[in-house]
Structure 1
Amino acid sequence: MAATNLSFPQFSLPCRHHHHHHHPSFFTLPTRTRLGPRTQSLGSDFLGDFGARDPFPAEIASQFGEKVLGDPNTEHKILIPTVSASSLAQQECTPVSPLQLPMLEDDAQKLLRKVVGWRLIVGEDGLKLQCLWKLRDYQCGVELINRVYKVAERAGHFPNLHLEQPNQVRAELWTSSIGGLTLNDFIVAAKIDEIKTSDLVPSRRAWA
């Protein structure tokens, strides 16, 4: 059987700063040509859950299958995302009762997969979300804090922001009224993840 190579972007979750505005590197996934179109699951260890689904009525009506470029006999791989950071970012913060219990660490670990670059830390005020950014210089750190503040102001839920010399910003999110984390903290973290930072972070050296 003939072999066909498909290229997919390679993603990684940074521990200390954001990468989602850098150009991703690529790797090649070999597939094999078969008789007739076929969809195959890649499994859930790549990024989200993968699998096949039937087309929606609107997709059938649009004749989307006729618009696909490439060999129709090639095996296709389709990404079916689960609850993603983007859907979390689209949610709005809700009022928190002082009687509400903070989120359990197990639940926080599950939601941590939906945000990029954040980690869980245990502080004096309970469990917190923390994110670090390395910027080009101190002025870029000031600009990032301004952008984060605008997002937090719209959400009505504010992180603690620290501008640290020479070029680092640290953000911590938690709900102080109950001494721990709520869904609001993850919603704001996801909204912060969508902030443009590519013009503030150090540029990467491009090798020929």
Structure 2
Amino acid sequence: MTRGVAMAHARLLLARYYAMAAPSWPTVSKNLPLLGHGRSHHPMYASQDEIKMSSRRWCHGSPDNQEKDRLSRAVVGMSSSTAAIGDPELAKKICVPCNSKDIHAMPEDSAKKMLEQVGGWELATEGDILKLHRAWKVKNFVKGLEFLQLVAAVAEEEGHHPDLHLVGWNNVKIDVWTHSVRGLTDNDFILAAKINNLNLEGLLSKKATVQK
């Protein structure tokens, strides 16, 4: 794929990516370099603070939601290339509203026990905030955008949105945490399990070494 064709493809993907949730799709900070030139060293960031998506559930069946239906089908089943050891039942659970008074940040000891249920993820601390972190190496920049689109569909369905990063043109990094409690909750592990269930066939690099 030539550079020009790749850039055109990337722009098309982004247009579809933002149109998918119209009219409630958020505006992105204009200081963020969403499209680089070639293999840019500038990362693409899409955090909860910068992108706030509607937590409404999708209404399937209408013509406007055909693309969302396609994405829903894409996340069913686990690709052998992305399978990770964990609790398959966790991915069947549903995230609860983050503004619930019953939600509290779990202690690190509890998070370490829950971590066994979401293979491939690790605990990371930023400041005093405990987060779930995982990274993947994708084939190219466009495949990275496709990966993020799949994650965005799951996050929007659950009403729980992770921090998404496309760094160095082919490294996808995801941090999951609950902003309202500044830490980890069951929601974060449920979302991580659902991300583990994504079918990423054709997106990951053959040398898909995890990048931290």
TM-score band, normalised by the shorter chain? Answer: 0.5 to 0.7
Q: Which amino acid aligns with 1:90?
A: K
What corresponds to 2:119 in structure 1?
116
Residue 80 (structure 2) pairs with residue 21 (structure 1) = yes
C-alpha spacing 1:23/1:136, structure 2 compared with 1 (3 Å): closer
Residue 94 (structure 2) pairs with residue 92 (structure 1) = yes
Partner of 1:86: helix, strand, or coil? coil
What corresponds to 1:55 in structure 2?
none
Percent of aligned pairs with the same residue?
39
In 2: Cα distance, 1:117 partner to 1:124 partner: 23
In 1: Cα distance, 2:82 partner to 2:88 partner: 19
In 2: Cα distance, 1:23 partner to 1:183 partner: 22
In 1: Cα distance, 2:182 partner to 2:128 partner: 5
Structure with the higher helix share, 1 or 2 = 2
Matches within 5 A, 1:186-197: 186-197=189-200
Q: Deviations over 1:117-158 (max 9, x none)?
A: 111001136100011010011111000000000011111100
What corresponds to 2:68 in structure 1?
none
In 1: Cα distance, 2:105 partner to 2:81 partner: 35
Count of paired positions: 128
In 2: Cα distance, 1:130 partner to 1:119 partner: 5
Decide whether the 8 Å contact of 1:135 with 1:200 is kept in 2.
yes
Deviation at 1:201, TM superposition (A): 1.0
Decide whether the 8 Å contact of 2:79 with 2:198 is kept in 1.
no
Decide whether the 8 Å contact of 2:164 with 2:175 is kept in 1.
yes
Q: Which amino acid aligns with 1:139?
A: V
Decide whether the 8 Å contact of 1:85 with 1:115 is kept in 2.
yes
Residue 184 (structure 2) pairs with residue 168 (structure 1) = no
Structure 1: gaps of 5 or more residues: 1-18, 25-46, 48-83
C-alpha spacing 1:103/1:197, structure 2 compared with 1 (3 Å): same
- Superposed CA RMSD in Å reads 2.3
Partner of 1:161: helix, strand, or coil? strand
Deviation at 1:95, TM superposition (A): 2.5
Partner of 1:127: helix, strand, or coil? strand
Deviation at 1:166, TM superposition (A): 2.4
Q: Deviations over 1:16-52 (max 9, x none)?
A: xxx962399xxxxxxxxxxxxxxxxxxxxxx7xxxxx
In 1: Cα distance, 2:104 partner to 2:96 partner: 15
Out of 152, 158, 162, which is 2:155 matched to? 152
Partner of 1:149: helix, strand, or coil? helix
- Bigger RCO of structures 1 and 2 (CA < 8 A, at least 6 apart): 2
What corresponds to 2:142 in structure 1?
139
**What's the TM-score, normalizing by structure 1?**
0.57
Structure 2: gaps of 5 or more residues: 1-77, 208-212
Q: Could you tell which deviates more after superposition, 168-177 or 84-93?
A: 84-93
C-alpha spacing 1:95/1:125, structure 2 compared with 1 (3 Å): farther
**What's the TM-score, normalizing by structure 2?**
0.56
